[in-house]
Amino acid sequence: MKRKRLCAYILFFFFALLHLEGAWDEIVLNPNGWNLPDTTKMTFLKVDTLNIAGIPFEIRVEKWTGKRLSTYRIRNRHYGTLQALAANRLVWENPINLFIYRTPDEKILCYLYAREITDKAGFTYGAVETYICDLDDDGMNEFQMEAGLDPNKLLTTFARIKLGLSEETSLILRTISSALRALKRQ
């Protein structure tokens, strides 16, 4: 019980920090990370560049889309809080779009992933678009958040945290590590 309460406090504190950075909506941490679609099974659209105020260089955006009439799906843990889809329940995702945000030296900042979610019986729960990120650079994309009303503001937040340009970067990353450790012990 104390562990769950501690984890709840840590997550509340973490959410409050992200709110200070301009983020909002539902945030979900998954210590096992989320799967992303294989880009070799998608169609490459183009590479754009993006300038964000306060970021000292252009960000490259690779844009991929799901192949038309493709049956390609990936298995993932659902991030949402719908009662029918608990965060630990596996679902099928039909990739719609995947945007990969990179620095000039090819470091991945985050992903914007749009997909349609279905269960194993084929019932479709709808489409969702979330940012997925590996904030602590351990190779697992354990952080996911809905794109929200202003996705560019959220992208700016991720870029500032990943690049160490936020005053709260160190505190946010330590909080994430602590919350993930607590989640793994449960």
Confidence (pLDDT) at 102: 94
> What average pLDDT does this structure show over 130-159?
82
- Hey, what are 131's tokens? 């940012």
pTM of this structure: 0.78
Instruction: Give 32 or 15, the one with higher predicted confidence.
Output: 32
Domain ranges of the chain: 26-163
Selection from 8-12, 24-28, 69-73 with the highest mean pLDDT:
69-73
pLDDT, tens only, 28-40: 777 788 899 999 9
Tell whether the model's pLDDT for residue 67 goes beyond 90.
no
Instruction: Give 5 or 140, the one with higher predicted confidence.
Output: 140
Split at pLDDT 50, 70, 90, the class of 4 is low
> What average pLDDT does this structure show over 121-150?
82
Confidence (pLDDT) at 84: 47
Closest of 115, 111, 27 to residue 74, by C-alpha: 115
Identify the DSSP state of 145: E
pLDDT, tens only, 102-132: 999 999 999 999 999 887 777 787 888 889 9
Query: Mean of the per-residue pLDDT values for the chain?
Result: 78
Instruction: Give 14 or 170, the one with higher predicted confidence.
Output: 170
